[in-house]
């Protein structure tokens, strides 16, 4: 089972090392390795400065990525009735 607190600490406090760039994506998108203490994982990083402006969205699409993660975490404990 995933330790939610350790995962959050890794995502929020971890050191980022860029491993590569996904060149086919519409915005700058990087494969990164996160390290915090003895915890380590790969992740996708989409920096705000690498966004292409969209006419129907405010700048800061990267915030949607975090919101999607938080929503998926909140729904993970929900059950259908």
The neighbour count for residue 60, using CB atoms within 10 Å, is: 9
Asked if residue 62 lies in contact with residue 50, where contact means CB atoms within 8 angstroms, the answer is no
Question: How far is it, in rounded angstroms, from Cα 42 to Cα 39?
Answer: 11
What pLDDT does 18 receive?
95
23 domain residue, yes or no: yes
Query: Which domain covers residue 25, as residue numbers?
Result: 4-76
Model pTM? Answer: 0.68
**How does pLDDT run across 47-62, given as a tens digit for each residue?**
888 888 777 877 777 7
Q: What is the mean pLDDT of residues 77-81?
A: 48
Q: How many structural domains is the chain composed of?
A: 1
Confidence (pLDDT) at 2 = 55
Better-predicted residue by pLDDT, 12 or 63: 12
pLDDT tens digits for range 2-60: 567 888 888 889 999 999 998 888 888 899 999 999 989 888 888 888 888 777 877 77
Q: How many whole angstroms separate alpha carbon 69 and alpha carbon 2?
A: 14
Contact 19, 32 (CB under 8 A): yes
Q: Is 81 part of a structural domain of the chain? A: no
């Amino acid at each position: 089972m995933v330790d939610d607190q350790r995962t959050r600490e890794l995502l929020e406090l971890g050191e980022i090392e860029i491993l590569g760039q996904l060149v086919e994506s519409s915005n700058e998108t990087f494969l990164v390795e996160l390290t915090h203490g003895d915890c380590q994982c790969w992740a996708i990083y989409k920096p705000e400065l690498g966004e292409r402006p969209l006419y129907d969205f405010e700048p800061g699409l990267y915030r949607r990525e975090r919101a999607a993660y938080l929503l998926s975490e909140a729904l993970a404990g929900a059950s259908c009735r």
